[in-house]
Amino acid sequence: MFSKEESRQLRQEFWTSFGKSFPRKWLLYDTKAKGVSFKFHFDTKSALIALDLEDDLENRINYWEKLVALKSILKNDYLPDVIFEEEFYLENGKEISRIYLPLEQKVSIHNKNSWRAVMEFFNVNMILFEAFFEEYKEIIKG
Query: Each residue of 50-61: pLDDT tens digit?
Result: 999 998 899 999
Q: Is 3 helix (H, G, I), strand (E, B) or coil?
A: coil
Task: Read off the pTM.
Answer: 0.94
For the residues 38-49, what does the mean pLDDT come to?
A: 97
Residue 104 is assigned to a structural domain of this protein: yes
Residue 76 is assigned to a structural domain of this protein: yes
Residue (of 58, 52, 15, 55) closest to 37 by Cα position: 52
Residue 55 is assigned to a structural domain of this protein: yes
Label the pairing between strands 36-42 and 47-53.
Answer: antiparallel
**What is the tally of structural domains in the chain?**
1
Q: Is 96 helix (H, G, I), strand (E, B) or coil?
A: strand
Whether the pLDDT of residue 97 is over 90: the answer is yes
- Give the domain extent around 65: 31-110+118-141
Which residues share a beta bridge with 84?
99
